[in-house]
Amino acid sequence: PDRYAVMGNPIAHSRSPHIHTLFARQTHQHLVYEAMLVEPGHLATAIALFREAGGQGLNITVPFKQDAWRLAEVLNPRAERAGAVNTLLWGNDGRLIGDNTDGIGLVRDLTQNLKQVLTDRHVLLLGAGGAARGVIGPLLETHPARLRVANRTAEKARELARLFEDAGNVEGSGLNELDADRFDLIINATAAGLDSEVPAIPSSLIGEHSCCYDMMYGNQPTAFVNWARNHGAALAVDGLGMLVEQAAESFYLWRGVRPDTPPVIAALRSGL
């Protein structure tokens, strides 16, 4: 079988092997997909060894997405802009190609699975780290009325907004500058949830039709999802669907076949 893997640190709890195994079964593709723990500073070596052993493609996760961006010999435009690579494959000429499927994964989960309209809507993205940067380009491609990037450290949000200002109506601010606004969609791309915290924003940002989306996920509802539910969001969901959708786009890049994602999301939700 063809070999694929996800590299990260930590990696033991990655759900990617399960997801890609379900995709392969569903689409009758003969492949194996494993999780590989890589020590910091050893990504280049790990990629080279994997290739020598017949590896066909890789997912790259925390904390190596920026390293992978630097190591790629060719960057697809969405990865170039994202400043991070989560998918690697080798071209016919043997060159290492880097792509980023996180943003399209988020947009597909929102628009296709959750039936959310983004066009002409007011969208708030919380956070200005790598996770936020990775999704701004694809979010702007849906033509929201505006995209506000808000971060605890305001200057980082302003910088990020400047980086994408030619791509749409995007502005950056501090969390503390969000006051009387209402947003149709609030996306959490901060790392606050790792400490079971919620970014310090007023619940008045949530309107009765607002959707709140946490890019994090877990076995229990995340802190942000609980917060959104408690403050009357019409819909509050975690990022499991995004995880499956970004995986599906990677699978498509590698195999040329698009898996059917809803049954895989349902299987993961029910713990199968």
How big is the CA angle at 147 (ends 141 and 149), to the nearest 5 degrees? Answer: 120
By CB under 6 A, is residue 188 in contact with ligand ATR? Answer: no
By CB under 6 A, is residue 128 in contact with ligand ATR? Answer: yes
By CB under 6 A, is residue 151 in contact with ligand ATR? Answer: yes
Q: Is the CB of residue 157 less than 8 Å from the CB of residue 173?
A: yes
Residue 241: CB minimum distance to ligand ATR, A: 18
Among the candidate windows 125-133, 136-144, 163-171, 179-187, which touches ligand ATR by CB under 6 A?
A: 125-133
User: What's the token pair of residue 155?
Assistant: 């200057």
By CB under 6 A, is residue 259 in contact with ligand ATR? Answer: no
Residue 191: CB minimum distance to ligand ATR, A: 4
- Cis, peptide link before residue 259, omega less than 30° from 0: no
Q: Nearer to ligand ATR by C-beta: 153 or 220?
A: 153
Active-site hit among 20, 65, 121, 148 = 65
Q: Which residue is nearest to ligand ATR (CB)?
A: 129
Sequence-ordered list of residues with C-beta below 8 angstroms from that of 119, at least 6 positions apart, any chain: 142, 143, 144
Q: List binders of ligand ATR among 217-256 (CB under 6 A).
A: none
Whether 115 is a known active-site residue: answer no
By CB under 6 A, is residue 191 in contact with ligand ATR? Answer: yes
Q: Nearer to ligand ATR by C-beta: 47 or 84?
A: 84
Sequence-ordered list of residues with C-beta below 8 angstroms from that of 206, at least 6 positions apart, any chain: 182, 183, 186, 212, 228, 231, 232, 233
Residue-by-residue DSSP string for 62-100 = TT-HHHHHHH-SEE-HHHHHHT---EEEE-TTSPEEEE-
Among the candidate windows 10-18, 36-44, 74-82, 121-129, which touches ligand ATR by CB under 6 A?
A: 121-129
DSSP at 205: G
By CB under 6 A, is residue 197 in contact with ligand ATR? Answer: yes
Which three-class secondary structure state does DSSP give residue 234? coil
Residue positions counted in the chain: 272
Residues that bind ligand ATR (CB under 6 A): 127-132, 151-153, 156, 190-192, 197, 199
Active site residues: 65
